[in-house]
């Protein structure tokens, strides 16, 4: 029955073409012209202020290591394993210095304050201040969803996605959702990673406790269905071909 065999082979070829269609373009920033310069992009000009509940990693060094080492251990039972916990009044406690007001200062501001306070006790002190409990969460269609620790004030959405293993093939790149807590409640903003406008968005730089959610493409399941149908018809056509040759 060559006609039946030819019919099944035709169906097989059609379904294979449908199932093997090239996926949609997954390149980022498709609207950027080649070798160009974007104007008015968002810049990192935001210094996060320390607040009660923040945990700070403070490292102090000087020309006298045995003395500076005393300042690298939090006192007063207010610090966890990660460093100095800013108490409800906005203070941290340091050896010799007692309570130091940290809330309302940036990391750079607290560093300068500590340098001034330490000057009578340490020779040529060097101070570094980092956030120990700041984080962003990346969920959805990425290689490795999870929580990313922030040592600096901010991280870009691209850096967060990169640290999460990049977007999967099924990721919906046009509507990457950023969820941010502010004084009025939660903000929900969408970023289009196919468009260069992402570089001008105030949500391009993520902040502490931001959540990034990447939706899956709605056609994900239909592609699987097409592939399943093609496999079934492929099996039927092969069986038909075998039967026709037996007869």
Over residues 22-66, the pLDDT tens digits come to 455 566 666 666 666 655 666 666 678 898 989 998 988 888 887
Residue 159's pLDDT is 93
Mean pLDDT of the chain: 79
Handedness of CA 164, 166, 171, 173 (dihedral sign): positive
The stretches of 119-182 forming alpha helices (DSSP H) are: 157-163
What is the value of pTM for the model shown? 0.65
- Better pLDDT: 142 or 40: 142
Question: Could you give the percent of the chain with pLDDT greater than 90?
Answer: 36
Given a cut of 60, is residue 157 above it in pLDDT? yes
pLDDT for residue 69? 79
Mean pLDDT of 222-230: 64
Give the helix ranges, DSSP H, for 75-192: 107-118, 157-163
pLDDT for position 127? 93
Q: What's the mean pLDDT in 5-10?
A: 56
CA dihedral sign of residues 70, 75, 79, 84 = negative
Band the pLDDT of 245: cuts 50, 70, 90.
low
Q: Quick one: pLDDT at residue 247?
A: 60
Distances (CA, A) of 135 to 116, 122, 212, 223: 30, 33, 12, 36
Residue 161 in this model has a pLDDT that exceeds 50: yes
Split at pLDDT 50, 70, 90, the class of 87 is very high
Residue 80's pLDDT is what?
A: 44
């Amino acid at each position: 029955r060559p006609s039946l065999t030819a019919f099944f082979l035709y169906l097989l070829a059609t379904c294979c073409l449908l199932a093997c269609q090239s996926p949609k373009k997954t390149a980022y920033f498709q609207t950027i012209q080649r070798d160009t310069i974007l104007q008015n992009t968002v810049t990192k000009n935001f210094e996060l202020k320390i607040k009660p509940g923040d945990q700070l990693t403070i490292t102090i060094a000087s020309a006298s290591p045995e003395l500076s080492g005393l300042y690298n251990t939090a006192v007063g039972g207010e610090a966890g394993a990660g460093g100095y916990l800013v108490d409800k009044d906005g203070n941290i406690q340091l050896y010799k210095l007692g309570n130091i007001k940290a809330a309302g200062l940036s990391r750079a501001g607290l560093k300068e304050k500590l340098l001034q306070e330490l000057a009578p006790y340490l020779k040529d002190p060097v101070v570094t201040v980092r956030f120990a409990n700041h984080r962003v969460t990346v969920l959805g269609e990425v290689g490795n969803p999870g929580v990313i620790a922030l040592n600096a004030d901010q991280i870009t959405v691209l850096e967060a996605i990169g640290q999460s293993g990049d977007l999967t093939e099924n990721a919906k790149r046009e509507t990457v959702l950023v969820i941010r807590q502010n004084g009025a409640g939660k903000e929900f903003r969408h970023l289009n990673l196919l468009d260069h406008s992402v570089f001008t968005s105030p949500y391009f730089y993520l902040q502490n406790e931001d959540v990034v959610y990447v939706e899956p493409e709605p056609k994900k399941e239909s592609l699987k269905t097409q592939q399943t149908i093609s496999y079934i018809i492929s099996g039927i056509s092969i069986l038909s071909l075998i039967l026709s040759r037996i007869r």
